[in-house]
Amino acid sequence: MRREQRITKGWHYRQVYSKGGSWANRHLVLRAAANGLDFSRFGFVASRQVGGAVVRNRVKRLLRENARLSAVKPGHDLVFIARKPAAEADYHEMGRAMQQLLLRAHLLGNK
Q: How confident is the model at residue 100 (pLDDT cuts 50, 70, 90)?
A: very high
pLDDT in tens, 16-50: 999 989 999 999 999 999 988 899 999 999 999 99
**Cα–Cα distance for residue pair 19/35, rounded to 1 Å:** 10
Q: What is the pTM of this model?
A: 0.91
